[in-house]
Chains A and B, each alone.
Chain A
């Protein structure tokens, strides 16, 4: 205490002591205040500028008038800088050497790898500074002729000719042109443009399912007709479908490749200067793939995909010859014709089936052969047909017998002679509930249990004294169906169970 400077204890004062010290603080001269103000303004502007730069993500720009102040000095070991430089040099050198080694390694060619097989025939000859390049058709034969003339200095008096022939691997296999049947437009590139830009029309080619073709010029004159021969070629390790058009059955007319990337394009030659583009599909596919019984499913709420959640919307039976019968959930039957065709979507041809009612389009869907038991209706994923062709064999009237339930609702179906008694109990609360009684017959045509004005609905209340019943209606109508193992109750009076599926106990 003796050694302590007594007034030093006034430093770091708490608030009340600080107030007393502030009262006794000497006045600050105007000159000093002006100096402080000037310094404050300068710092304020710098901070504001920095803040704006940060907020606008601009880089900091300094000019000769700016300066840095208040920088703290720090000391680092003197050996740190040279060590860092040395480490950086080693790192950079390592990256450079490593990259070089890696690139050399990748550039090495083995005896068998990286052999590029040309898909075209190129003949090159050099005659008095003139180079001629000729491209032949189809890549059948690839021949390269390279002539190296004497150099002007005469030091390389070499005149060599090298001939190389590379035969594509041609398979004897063929493929069916049924998928190509239709009318095709023969397009050629105009001037120096590509085929994609305003091509010229060179005529029209009709391809028939029997592997014949007819080629007409743009003004309708017959150019050629004959047979189509298909095959495969393996070029550069890739297998291509080839198609050749023979005039009169023997003279090669033209040919090209059908790679299937776009089902409606046949590339002619290999120069990318001609092609056939399909205009119309001539032949409809067979409807045999669709024959059978299909369950019509729809999204229960209109926005959930039918793949995730579905409700029953009736049954469609498709018969050979393009006739269908649609039975909706209420048993109403619609009959009409089907029409099977193709539709091109995003370059991919898809099989379609449309359902017509009195010559008017009713609804339609898409069929994917890889998923043969589903027809997707529309594009929204809200409805579909699921194949259930064996339904009639599996389900009959007795299939309904049993106890079905969902939530508070239970359905009891029993056989009564050739009829079926259906009792439905739906609990409202502990004190009340509803009950339905139906007498149904089995309709073999639709596969439904049907009640025609036999239903009675009761409202039941329970109390300590017993239960009381109130009849809500009689002559109620209902239908019951089984869809994929679940019972569907169609209350045709109040529709209280629309969308509900009951599980068998």
Chain B
């Protein structure tokens, strides 16, 4: 969807436009937000953040829709920034409510490591490659199960299989993945 298409839709009906936006990009935004908040936020936090993202997008629609660009990139940027803000907010809240032990003070010294960052990026690529090598629907089942933490029932609906079949395929896919990772020196 381009900005101009969105503008035309806004002129017809802002409410319908908002609904269409959420339907079109809800999953997209959710995935981005989930990626940032997976380690610290609850489902409610993620829903709050996704709704914040769309609220900002709606505001943006009111003021600037002159470009011909695909608004996907705009939405992606807003989603990432909102998710990072939410991540900081949640982390800050956790830090405020946690008594810092004297022994933990050393951890306050920069927690960012360039080497670790690069390692994680390479590992992420390798892991995704190996998961892709499992083929469909196993790669989707593995990701939804272990990354998105979905229940087998939910995954079954997503891949249009039975719960039992999903559970079996997931088990086999995980075994295959473990083997592939062991071959390159990674363990699950």
Contact = CB atoms under 8 A, between A and B. Distances in A.
A497 interface: no
Given A6-B127, A9-B124, A26-B148, A36 B54 contact: yes
A7 B146 contact: yes
Contacts of A7: 127, 146-147
Interface string B28-49: 1011101110110000000110
B121 to A, nearest CB: 6
Nearest to A20: B128
Contacts of A32: 47
Given A37-B54, A70-B48, A72-B89, A22 B28 contact: yes
Contact of A17 (B22, B51, B124): B124
A40 B58 contact: yes
Contacts of B158: 26-27
Given A26-B158, A75-B96, A11 B54 contact: no
A73 interface: yes
A36 B47 CA distance: 7
A40 B186 contact: no
Q: Main secondary structure on chain B at its contact with chain A?
A: helix
A47 interface: yes
A299 to B, nearest CB: 53
Contacts of B51: 36, 39-40, 42-43
Contacts of A27: 27, 157-158
B23 interface: yes
Interface string B123-144: 1110110001000000110011
Interface residues of B, number: 57
A20 to B, nearest CB: 5
Interface string A45-69: 0011001000000000000000000
Contacts, number: 132
A26 B132 CA distance: 16
Q: Main secondary structure on chain A at its contact with chain B?
A: helix
B174 to A, nearest CB: 11
B31 A40 contact: no
A13 B123 CA distance: 11
B113 interface: no
Tier of interface size on chain A: 35 or more
Contact of A24 (B47, B124, B143): B143
Contact of A43 (B52, B96, B146, B188): B52
B6 interface: no
B132 A20 contact: yes
Contacts of B55: 40-41, 43-44, 47
Interface in B138-172: 139-140, 143-144, 146-148, 150, 154-155, 157-158
Given A1-B186, A9-B123, A72 B18 contact: no
B106 interface: no
B105 interface: no
A154 to B, nearest CB: 79
A7 to B, nearest CB: 5
A10, A32, A43: which has the most chain B beta carbons within 10 Å?
Answer: A10
Contacts of B30: 25, 28
Contacts of A51: 59
The 6 lowest CB-CB distance pairs between A and B, nearest first, are A39-B51, A40-B54, A43-B55, A25-B31, A44-B58, A24-B143
Interface of A: 1-2, 6-14, 16-18, 20-22, 24-28, 32-33, 35-37, 39-44, 47-48, 51, 70, 72-75
Given A8-B39, A25-B30, A37-B54, 12 more contacts: A11-B35, A11-B36, A14-B121, A21-B128, A25-B27, A26-B150, A27-B158, A36-B26, A37-B18, A40-B18, A48-B62, A51-B59
